[in-house]
Amino acid sequence: MGIEIEQPCVELSNVAVSETHGEDSPYFAGWKAYDENPYDELSNPSGVIQMGLAENQVSFDLLEKYLEEHPEASTWGKGAPGFRENALFQDYHGLKTFRTAMATFMEKVRGGRVKFDPQRVVLTAGATAANELLTFILANPGDALLVPTPYYPGFDRDLRWRTGVNIVPIHCDSLNNFQITPEALECAYKDAEAMNFKVRGVLITNPSNPLGITIPRSVLEEILDFVTRKNIHLVSDEIYSGSVFSSSEFTSVAEILEGREYKNAERVHIVYSLSKDLGLPGFRVGTIYSYNDKVVTTARRMSSFTLISSQTQHLLASMLSDEKFTENYIETNRERLRKRYEMIIEGLRSAGIECLKGNAGLFCWMNMSPLLEKPTREGELKLWNAILHQVKLNISPGSSCHSSEPGWFRVCFANMTEHTLEIALQRIRHFVERIRTQTESV
Amino acid sequence: MALLNKNTHQLLSKIATNDKHGENSPYFDGWKAYNSNPFHPTKNPQGVIQMGLAENQLCFDLIEEWIRNNPKASICTKEGVNCFKYIANFQDYHGLPEFRKAVANFMSKVRGGRVRFDPDRILMSGGATGANELIMFCLADPGDAFLVPSPYYPAFVRDLCWRTRAQLIPVECHSSNNFKITTEALDEAYNKAKEDNINVKGLIITNPSNPLGTTMDRETLKSIVGFINEKNIHLVCDEIYAATVFRAPSFVSVSEVMHEIEHCNSDLIHIIYSLSKDLGLPGFRVGIVYSYNDGVVNNGRKMSSFGLVSSQTQHFLAALLSDENFVERFLAESSRRLAARHSHFTKGLEKVNITCLPSNAGLFCWMNLRSLLKEKTFEGEMMQWRLIINEVKLNVSPGSSFDCSEPGWYRVCFANMDDETVDVALKRIRAFVGKETGKPVELKRCKSNLRLSFSSRRFDENVMSPHMMSPHSPMPHSPLVRAT
């Protein structure tokens, strides 16, 4: 083999070696435990049940039925007549039929209360890409975005990793059901200033992940007033807008803007995706809807790095243009999610566990603080470990979502069958009984 | 709807307001001319012919036939819908294992089976555009530089520098040695950068070359691998045109050569690939990063979340590329058709004494119009180019848009049209040359009737004019949208 010559290590970039991708966090142990011992109804009924994944699996049958009844949607039709045109299509404007269908779908999800212009729809490969792309456009490295806590852990990667932008939390707590207050907004702004970060915008998720609640109209008005006063942007990630259990309970920032006749609208940008509402995360379908012309133009150019496969655009254009299908889907999906939600809330309540009163999303925000040994982050992690290894449920601890109060957990309910959910609830009941018995006997 | 408040313009980032997206270049005029007057054999025979688009439209019939015979590859057909739920839900950034395996095998086949690729080293990205940006994010910090031999693909500026904030340092190549990269040129560029206090992190080459259409010979490739090892910098090889090689010499990939270099540090070697050129599927956004560096694979994989390939598309391609019979037939036939097209076009040019750089790959040729330049300067080239656009009505790409050091060269694409359109283009070039040289154009063959007749149906079946490709797009196409 010859003499080994020590190779000097060539450095990778700072971005490549940083940990901002977030995957070295302790919560990864939960995923590992699941991967090593995944629950299966038949083959592994005592395995770890995955309740950390916000996936919507309750309405696939509706999609499958659509495909069976509409062979023309089948990739390129019989004999593949549209194939070559589709295969060549890489225009970053996206397929017009698809953009139009997306705009229409977004309108339907908002009960027709607001209109969306297909020319303002920019397509990206998933909301992950949309959020990063917007951050590149709205902020310079070292700047900050204000984000209400608790928030989706993936934001740490999506908003910060390659962009070099900081997240400064807007603290929310259970005293007022985790609502965003003007005081909290001002406080976060001052925190950023104290750290010498220039604040470029506020990013909200509405409905909220992990809280599973919609933001009330009055709060949205306050947030809009705040960003206008500070002359900064507002990004509203409305990825769960179709997962609201009752349509009338969701107010989109688009509706507020319409009410204000679009005054100051050019600082507002909406992110959407089909990963949650339609349960199609694999297809990588994200959009940015911006009221700012320059943002639309720039975002469109930047989307070259992350376009949606034309094959997928073609399929979804067909599906989402079918108004009868989409109306029925939206309604049925809502109803099924609502039922699931009620099932889990009831099940937890019968075990003596309360949740934040939610009205949207694929998860509930569960309060286990009474069971903590110590009301600290360590106490929460200890409880989480017990739930993972003894109860064999992978749920998400609030600290992974930057919650300032220990003891809250996000529990997903839409990525499994009802039967599995029953099993999970039984396990929780037994666990809580065991703890109560132990505490009482001490 | 919303008026653009001038205040908010200042509210956007530096990246959002600089020019690195590349769309403000003067070459836009060629695209504008095409978009406002696109050629069509019957509806608009005097229109501008698109020869600036490096697309491979020669073999769609083979893929269409395969699709008809393999309905299971689609998750929408009744034969394939049982996979719908699993595929639609699959967002793992590792990618479908069968997809990665099929791509690894395909890459190996394209290299004549001379090298094997490990499916676990395959990362996905949003087309080669996304892949090139991803590898730069992994290798370069803001301000770091990569050497790039010129002439080079114009959109590298956007892909490698825009959001990464890295910079490119061109390494000039000259026609005197057929634009080969020399270690002298590399050394000179590297040393100058060092003097200027610029941190050079690597070298990026495109092999086969865009715009030259040539493959790199083994010796040059070995010397490049030696160079980057000596300087301890990265080597990124964009091998996106690997399967467009249509005649000897055959393609030599960096993956074959790296093992022939003593003490080659494989941590420095990275390959970029895509299915946009070899298979003609740019719409599907299949970009691949293949790295021999574990750190890049592990962290790059996390980064691929920003541009994963649609699982529907992964599923389809896994089936297509696993069909070994199809792949073998496709590669052979594609080569054959490219060779025929290249030969027909270059011979047509030779009839009027226009030469191209001798080439054996790519979807274009590197045409030499230096003898026809009124002034042997870049201004002269611009003037000549505008003539070609506005009077000859061909959208070709001038060498200066590729940062070529010598004026008078043009990249001319020939695989994105049918035979008849090629002949129209040749006819126009012949007429142009005749005017420029003042000599009547003599052809070896005399055609009394130069009117070419088409069956428009045949045209529609065999080729999609770029104009027809996106009839719904309301806005003019950027050249960078169509990946020059």
Q: Which of A74, A93, A265 faces B2 most closely, judged by CB atoms?
A: A265
**Nearest-5° angle of CA A22, CA A28, CA A31?**
130
Indicate if A41 and A150 belong to the same structural domain: no
Question: Which pLDDT value is given to residue A77?
Answer: 60
Q: Is B142 exposed, middle or buried (0-12, 13-18, 19+ CB in 10 A)?
A: middle
Determine the Cα–Cα distance for residues B257 and B239; give it in Å rounded to an integer. Answer: 14
CATH number at residue A337: 3.90.1150.10
Kindly list the residues from chain A whose CB atom is less than 8 angstroms away from the CB atom of residue B5.
Answer: 264, 266
If you count them, how many residues does chain A have?
A: 442
Pick the residue from chain B with its C-alpha nearest to A3. Answer: B263
Put simply, whether A306 touches B (Cβ < 8 Å) is yes
Structure letter (DSSP) for residue B42: T
Kindly list the residues from chain B whose CB atom is less than 8 angstroms away from the CB atom of residue A295.
Answer: 12, 16
Indicate if A306 and A377 belong to the same structural domain: no
Q: Are strands A363-367 and A408-412 parallel, antiparallel or unpaired?
A: antiparallel
Q: pLDDT of B167-194, one tens digit each?
A: 999 999 999 999 999 999 999 999 999 9
Indicate if A48 and A168 belong to the same structural domain: no
Which of B272, B323, B312 is closest to B153 using CA atoms? B272
Examine the fold and report which residue of A322, A337, A355 is the final residue of a domain before the chain moves on.
A322
Residue ranges for chain A with pLDDT beneath 50: 1-8
Examine the fold and report which residue of A298, A322, A346 is the final residue of a domain before the chain moves on.
A322
Put simply, whether B464 touches A (Cβ < 8 Å) is yes
Determine the Cα–Cα distance for residues B400 and B409; give it in Å rounded to an integer. Answer: 8
* 258-277 of A, contacting B, C-beta below 8 A: 262, 264-267, 275
State the smallest CA–CA distance between residue B332 and chain A in angstroms.
Answer: 20
Cβ–Cβ gap B60/A84 under 8 Å: yes
Put simply, whether A438 touches B (Cβ < 8 Å) is no
Kindly list the residues from chain A whose CB atom is less than 8 angstroms away from the CB atom of residue B313.
Answer: 309, 311-312
Are B109 and B271 in contact, with CB atoms under 8 Å apart? no
CATH number at residue A289: 3.40.640.10
Put simply, whether A43 touches B (Cβ < 8 Å) is no
Greater confidence, A80 or B65? B65
Residue B14: other Cβ atoms inside 10 A: 11
Structure letter (DSSP) for residue B294: H
- The answer to whether residue A21 sits within a structural domain is no
- The answer to whether residue A202 sits within a structural domain is yes
Indicate if A165 and A302 belong to the same structural domain: yes
State the smallest CA–CA distance between residue A292 and chain B in angstroms.
Answer: 7
Tokens at residue A133, please? 């792309």
Whether the predicted pLDDT of B205 surpasses 60? yes
Determine the Cα–Cα distance for residues A270 and A238; give it in Å rounded to an integer. Answer: 7
H or E element, residue B171: strand B167-172
Indicate if A57 and A81 belong to the same structural domain: no
Question: Which pLDDT value is given to residue B125?
Answer: 97
Determine the Cα–Cα distance for residues B34 and A397; give it in Å rounded to an integer. Answer: 57
Tokens at residue A433, please? 């009984």
Q: Which of B87, B201, B233 faces A282 most closely, judged by CB atoms?
A: B87
User: What is the rounded average pLDDT for all residues in chain B?
Assistant: 89
Residue carrying the six token digits 């142009």: B432
Alpha-carbon distances of A428 from A358, A387, A424, B160, rounded to whole Å:
20, 8, 6, 51
Please spell the DSSP secondary structure of B371-389, one letter per residue.
GG-SSSSHHHHHHHHHHII
- The answer to whether residue A66 sits within a structural domain is no
Residues whose CB falls within 8 Å of the CB of residue B153, separated by 6 or more in sequence, listed in order:
B206, B210, B211, B238, B402, B484
Whether the predicted pLDDT of B9 surpasses 60? no
**Phi-psi sector, A248: left (phi>0), alpha (psi -120 to 50), beta:** alpha
Q: Which of A21, A67, A136 faces B15 most closely, judged by CB atoms?
A: A136
Question: Which pLDDT value is given to residue B458?
Answer: 37
Catalytic residues of B: 153, 238, 240, 277
Question: Which pLDDT value is given to residue B32?
Answer: 87
Cβ–Cβ gap A310/B233 under 8 Å: no
State the smallest CA–CA distance between residue B405 and chain A in angstroms.
Answer: 28
Which of B309, B290, B310 is closest to B300 using CA atoms? B290
Q: pLDDT of B441-471, one tens digit each?
A: 555 444 443 333 333 333 333 344 343 333 3
**Nearest-5° angle of CA A133, CA A139, CA A141?**
100
Question: Which pLDDT value is given to residue B203?
Answer: 98
Cβ–Cβ gap A292/B2 under 8 Å: yes
Active-site residue, A237 included: yes
Examine the fold and report which residue of A266, A299, A322 is the final residue of a domain before the chain moves on.
A322
Alpha-carbon distances of B265 from B103, B236, B258, B285, B292, rounded to whole Å:
25, 13, 9, 31, 9
- Percent of residues in chain A assigned helix, strand, coil, to nearest 5: 50, 15, 40
Determine the Cα–Cα distance for residues A326 and B232; give it in Å rounded to an integer. Answer: 56
State the smallest CA–CA distance between residue B273 and chain A in angstroms.
Answer: 14
Cβ–Cβ gap A157/B302 under 8 Å: yes
Put simply, whether A1 touches B (Cβ < 8 Å) is no
Put simply, whether B282 touches A (Cβ < 8 Å) is yes
CB pairs under 8 A between A and B: 293
Indicate if A57 and A115 belong to the same structural domain: no
Indicate if A331 and A317 belong to the same structural domain: no
- The answer to whether residue A385 sits within a structural domain is yes
Determine the Cα–Cα distance for residues B5 and A419; give it in Å rounded to an integer. Answer: 55
Whether the predicted pLDDT of B439 surpasses 90? no
Pick the residue from chain A with its C-alpha nearest to B306. Answer: A129
Cβ–Cβ gap A282/B310 under 8 Å: yes
Q: Give residue A142's Cα distance to chain centre.
A: 25
Question: Which pLDDT value is given to residue A78?
Answer: 59
Domain that holds residue A401: 26-61+326-436
Cβ–Cβ gap B68/A79 under 8 Å: yes
- The answer to whether residue A41 sits within a structural domain is yes
Q: Which of B130, B137, B475 faces A162 most closely, judged by CB atoms?
A: B137
Whether the predicted pLDDT of B264 surpasses 90? yes
Are B180 and B172 in contact, with CB atoms under 8 Å apart? no
Residue A346: other Cβ atoms inside 10 A: 11
Structure letter (DSSP) for residue B453: P
Indicate if A387 and A251 belong to the same structural domain: no
Which whole number is the average pLDDT over B300-325?
Answer: 97
| SS3 at position A136 | helix
Least-confidence region, from B10-19, B32-41, B421-430: B10-19
Cβ–Cβ gap A137/B263 under 8 Å: no
Indicate if A205 and A306 belong to the same structural domain: yes
Cβ–Cβ gap A125/B308 under 8 Å: yes
Tokens at residue A333, please? 């999906």
Which of B217, B295, B242, B222 is closest to B128 using CA atoms? B242
Question: Which pLDDT value is given to residue A19?
Answer: 78
User: Which residue type, as a one-letter code, is found at position B216?
Assistant: M
- The answer to whether residue A346 sits within a structural domain is yes
Indicate if A313 and A375 belong to the same structural domain: no
Put simply, whether A93 touches B (Cβ < 8 Å) is yes
Tokens at residue B241, please? 């045109």
Kindly list the residues from chain B whose CB atom is less than 8 angstroms away from the CB atom of residue A157.
Answer: 302, 305
Indicate if A169 and A133 belong to the same structural domain: yes
Indicate if A358 and A309 belong to the same structural domain: no
Structurally, chain A folds into a number of domains equal to: 2
User: Which residue type, as a one-letter code, is found at position B484?
Assistant: T
Whether the predicted pLDDT of B482 surpasses 80? no
Q: Could you give the dihedral angle defined by the CA atoms of residues A175, A179, A182 and A185, in that order, rounded to the nearest 10 degrees? A: 100
State the smallest CA–CA distance between residue A372 and chain B in angstroms.
Answer: 34
- The answer to whether residue A260 sits within a structural domain is yes
Residues B457-461: contacts with CB under 8 Å, at least 24 apart: B458/B418, B459/B41, B459/B42, B459/B418, B459/B420
Report the percent of chain B where pLDDT is more than 70.
88
| SS3 at position A402 | coil
Which whole number is the average pLDDT over B64-81?
Answer: 92
* 45-64 of B, contacting A, C-beta below 8 A: 55, 57, 60, 63-64
**Phi-psi sector, A34: left (phi>0), alpha (psi -120 to 50), beta:** alpha
State the smallest CA–CA distance between residue A226 and chain B in angstroms.
Answer: 16
Model-wide pTM > 0.80: yes
Structure letter (DSSP) for residue A104: H
Kindly list the residues from chain A whose CB atom is less than 8 angstroms away from the CB atom of residue B133.
Answer: 305
Whether the predicted pLDDT of B1 surpasses 70? no
Residue B28: other Cβ atoms inside 10 A: 17
Question: Which pLDDT value is given to residue B82?
Answer: 93
Residue A334: other Cβ atoms inside 10 A: 20
Question: Which pLDDT value is given to residue A10?
Answer: 63
- The answer to whether residue A3 sits within a structural domain is no
Q: Is B448 exposed, middle or buried (0-12, 13-18, 19+ CB in 10 A)?
A: exposed
